Structures are given as C-alpha cells and as structure tokens.
Amino acid sequence: MQTNPLWDDNELQFGRLIAEIEAAGGFTEALVQDLQVSMDLTEADIIGLLDRAQQAWDTTKERLP
C-alpha cells in the first residue's frame, strides 16, 4: 500500500500513466483504432485526447516538489 499522497492523486497519476504509455511507444496504430471503436471517437479525437493528457501531465510535473 502506498503512503505517498501523490500516489492517491488521480489527476496526477492518470495523466502520468497516459503520458508514460505514449512515451514508451504503447499507442500503436492498432491501439488507436481499438480506442476509436471502444470510445466511439475519431482518430483525431483520440490523438487530441492524448495531447491533452500529455499537456496535463507536463503542467502537473511543473507543480511537483
């Protein structure tokens, strides 16, 4: 069990998770296509959402101690 309050911050951890998956090359074309279907979004919507997640993570990192 984590005792670090930053671990419990969903905004922080969800943005971090998405950004790290993207950085690791995890968002392949196949995954983006699967997300399009499961989320009923266009490819542009998925890419835009990933960009927003990266921006949110970058902003969050700036405020970390």
In a domain, residue 59? The reply is: yes
In a domain, residue 2? The reply is: no
Burial track 6-40 (b if 16+ CB lie within 10 A, e otherwise): eeeeeebeebbebbeeeeeeebeeeeeeebeeeee
In a domain, residue 42? The reply is: yes
Q: Which domain holds residue 25?
A: 10-63
Please write the tens of the pLDDT for every residue from 31-51. 889 889 999 999 999 888 888
What pLDDT score does 8 carry? 83
pLDDT band (50, 70, 90) for residue 12: confident
**pTM of the entire predicted model:** 0.69
In a domain, residue 28? The reply is: yes
The overall average pLDDT reported for the chain is: 83
- Read off the pLDDT of each residue in 12-38 and give the average, rounded to a whole number: 83
